[in-house]
């Protein structure tokens, strides 16, 4: 995961300095990998031995797959049968095993946190405290902290 650049947004009428945080420059093109990475890195090694899985057809799937590949562990991703092919292919390129299910089953898996088709630890895309700590709280949390460090250091681009 990168400390992504902050770039000034030149709006003369703005009441103060505005910066854009370019999370689209993360390896999977989204801030979602922050939550995926936090959740995976919080697991002990024993829980990682069977790999990880998620139920997502988008950026979270790619974030989980990216971290699994980085750590050399198996990854499975449950996707609905109407998932965008571009997202599915991008996730496969990251080494994930794709498991396609009917949309109603996809929703049931998200709701119930159970899938007999895969092994490993579930990294839930929106109902996991470790994911939420770095993903949904990003407006006030991880990204804001990263941005504040960059501004305080006088540098807008950090790696």
Higher pLDDT among residues 1 and 59, named by residue = 59
| pLDDT in the model for residue 59 | 92
Measured in degrees and rounded to the nearest 5, phi and psi for residue 7 equal: -125, 140
Record the pTM. Answer: 0.80
| pLDDT in the model for residue 21 | 84
Least confident among 37-46, 82-91, 115-124: 37-46
pLDDT digit string, tens, across residues 111-151? 999 999 999 999 998 888 777 776 544 444 556 666 666 66
Measured in degrees and rounded to the nearest 5, phi and psi for residue 100 equal: -95, 130
Higher pLDDT among residues 143 and 35, named by residue = 35
Which letter does DSSP use for residue 121 in this model? Answer: E
pLDDT digit string, tens, across residues 54-79? 999 889 999 999 999 999 999 999 99
Q: Is a pLDDT exceeding 90 seen at residue 98? A: yes
Question: Which CATH fold topology does 6-152 show?
Answer: Rossmann fold (3.40.50)
CA distance 6 to 20: 5
**Stretch 22-34: mean pLDDT:** 87
CA distance 32 to 138: 10
**Stretch 42-56: mean pLDDT:** 93
């Amino acid at each position: 995961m990168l400390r992504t650049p902050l770039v000034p947004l030149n709006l003369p009428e703005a009441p103060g300095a505005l910066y854009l945080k370019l999370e689209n420059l993360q390896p999977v093109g989204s801030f979602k990998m922050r939550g995926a990475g936090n959740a995976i890195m919080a697991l002990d090694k024993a829980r990682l031995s069977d790999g990880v899985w998620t139920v997502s057809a988008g950026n979270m799937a790619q974030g989980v797959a990216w971290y699994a590949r980085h750590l050399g562990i198996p990854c499975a991703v449950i996707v609905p049968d109407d998932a965008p092919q571009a997202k599915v292919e991008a996730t496969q390129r990251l080494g994930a095993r794709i498991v396609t299910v009917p949309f109603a089953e996809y929703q049931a898996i998200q709701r119930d946190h159970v899938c007999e088709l895969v092994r490993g630890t579930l990294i839930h895309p929106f109902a996991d405290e470790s994911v939420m700590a770095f993903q949904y709280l990003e407006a006030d949390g991880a990204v804001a902290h990263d941005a504040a460090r960059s501004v305080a250091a006088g540098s807008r681009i950090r790696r």
